Amino acid sequence: MGARDQLESHRAELTGFGLTNPSGAVVVDIDDEVAATAIKDLPARGGIARGLGRSYGDPAQNGGGHVLRLAPGSIVVDEQACTATVGAGVSLDDVLRVIVPRGFFVPVTPGTRYVTIGGAVASDIHGKNHHLDGSFGNHVTNIRMMLADTTVVDVGPDDDPELFWATVGGMGLTGLMLEVTFRLLPIETSRISVDTYRLDSLDDVMTEMVASESDFRYSVAWLDLLATGRRVGRGVLTNGAHAVTDQLDPAASNDPLGYAADQIAVMPPLVPPHGVINKLTVKAFNEMWFRKAPRQRTGELQSIPTYFHPLDLVGNWNRVYGAEGFVQYQFHVPDDAVDTMVSIIHRLAAAQLPIFMTVLKRFGPGNPAPLSFPQSGWQLAVDIGVAHRRIGTLLGEFDRMVLAVGGRHYLAKDASMSAETFRRGYPRLAEWQAVRERVDPAGVWASDQSRRLGLT
């Protein structure tokens, strides 16, 4: 049987995690052995790699073309070098199940462990530790990838750095990643020592975040955007650090690196057309979530899933917004534009939209990748159901405010940004496009997002 005969494909309608903007494509399941054949078979509409579909918009869709799904590969840990070499189709969930019991943690994790390593690089994911450790690309030492002409190359910060950094945050548009080597973080235990602060105003939250950020590896705040008056933007700040063995009680000391990450429930496939999210339910949830947090608590030991991936406890939670789906509006503004961040938060609160997922974080310096999202300053992410018709106008106004102060939007969460908004937020686009032209002059790699934003 030839390699072409081994290709398995089917037609499917795909969306991102936000369930918006569906498009139809031929989905081709591949592994390293048949990747070259699959690339040679791509139609004029081109192809794009797709991991676990956790990008919120359309970067892993390619309407009318092919979508390549790479099979999970191996996980090889070098304990002496503190590195892991992992197939690009392997999930962070699988990586954690291997490395945590051996005393290691990933250098960066987003709010879900259901992303592939290839997706982590393509989106240059960031986490609660960006203010100290940067984004995922900062910790990658090598990427093995197949280019559009099916040549296999290894690139790194010192080996074709232009292609390496164009691939980091490059949304899969420079080639098909096959394998990634990245540094690991040694840990003594699988617990996170968490300090929690319940704060009564936005000013209190932001002041405490700045004051405590250098003392903790991890920091994140949830905000209540349905609170009003002086309580607008009240929230819960949770700062974390990896616990050491001396912090464990005798029972936990018997298995300091024990790790379990199971889902406790799954959202049913049948939900009301407009979901179960409305102002009444969210206001009640936000009040409960705020009140259940202690005014101040230090040194609470939490599991890795509880601190980093709480939404993963419920499978398919994105269905709560109904069939129309939702968008996650995620943007960054520099430190000297904190007034813009405050103004946007107040305007969101004034709109009284049913928003329960609100994440405020601090960013440290960015890396050399032209399309990497994080830069020094503040970032906010909010989930909003698209059934709320006012959001188009509101988010358009926010776009202009963000761009006016030198901010930008996260490509992995984007579902509706205009090409003009993208170009203004990413002034090094031409630099990235020059690298892409070198390695993919025929435009083999393409996605719905890349066409919408003028990336390809």
Do 84 and 205 share a domain, yes or no? no
Q: Is residue 312 part of a domain?
A: yes
**Phi then psi for 188, rounded to 5 degrees?**
-90, -30
Do 149 and 227 share a domain, yes or no? no
Answer for the pair 10, 44: CB distance below 8 angstroms, yes or no.
no
Do 183 and 200 share a domain, yes or no? no
Please tell me the total count of domains within the chain.
Answer: 2
Helix then strand then coil, % of the chain, to nearest 5: 35, 25, 40
In sequence order, what are the residues at sequence separation of 6 or more whose Cβ sits closer than 8 angstroms to the Cβ of residue 256?
A: 188, 189, 190, 191, 245, 248
In this predicted structure, the answer to whether residue 267 has a pLDDT above a threshold of 80 is: no
In which band, very low, low, confident or very high, does the pLDDT at 2 lie, cut at 50, 70 and 90?
Answer: low
In this predicted structure, the answer to whether residue 270 has a pLDDT above a threshold of 60 is: no
For residues 366-378, give the mean pLDDT: 98
Do 292 and 401 share a domain, yes or no? yes
Query: What integer pLDDT is reported at residue 4 of this predicted model?
Result: 66
Tens digits of residue pLDDT in 32-73: 999 999 999 999 999 999 999 999 999 999 999 999 999 999
Do 216 and 252 share a domain, yes or no? yes
Q: What CA–CA distance (Å, rounded) separates 238 from 198?
A: 9
Helices 338-351, 391-404: axis angle to 10 degrees equals: 170
CA-nearest of 25, 210, 17 to 119 is 17
Q: Which domain holds residue 197?
A: 191-420
Q: What pTM was computed for the model?
A: 0.95
Do 202 and 328 share a domain, yes or no? yes
Q: Which of 187, 212, 232 is the last residue of a domain?
A: 187
Q: Is residue 15 part of a domain?
A: no
Q: Is residue 393 part of a domain?
A: yes
Do 263 and 400 share a domain, yes or no? yes
Q: Is residue 455 part of a domain?
A: no
Q: What CA–CA distance (Å, rounded) separates 123 from 411?
A: 7
Q: Is residue 36 part of a domain?
A: no
Tens digits of residue pLDDT in 325-362: 989 999 999 999 999 999 999 999 999 999 989 999 99
DSSP letter at 416 equals S
Q: Is residue 136 part of a domain?
A: yes
Query: What integer pLDDT is reported at residue 391 of this predicted model?
Result: 84
- For residue 351, the domain's CATH number is 3.30.70.2520
Q: Which of 150, 172, 187 is the last residue of a domain?
A: 187
Q: What CA–CA distance (Å, rounded) separates 400 from 390?
A: 16
Do 183 and 195 share a domain, yes or no? no
Q: Is residue 90 part of a domain?
A: yes
Q: Which residue has the tokens 């109904």?
A: 322
Do 254 and 377 share a domain, yes or no? yes
In this predicted structure, the answer to whether residue 119 has a pLDDT above a threshold of 60 is: yes
- For residue 84, the domain's CATH number is 3.30.465.10
Q: Which of 140, 166, 187 is the last residue of a domain?
A: 187
Q: Which two tokens stand for residue 20?
A: 């918006």
Q: Is residue 211 part of a domain?
A: yes
Query: What integer pLDDT is reported at residue 263 of this predicted model?
Result: 74
Query: What integer pLDDT is reported at residue 275 of this predicted model?
Result: 62
Do 179 and 96 share a domain, yes or no? yes
In which band, very low, low, confident or very high, does the pLDDT at 324 lie, cut at 50, 70 and 90?
Answer: confident
Answer for the pair 190, 100: CB distance below 8 angstroms, yes or no.
yes
Do 252 and 363 share a domain, yes or no? yes
Do 161 and 294 share a domain, yes or no? no
In which band, very low, low, confident or very high, does the pLDDT at 246 lie, cut at 50, 70 and 90?
Answer: very high
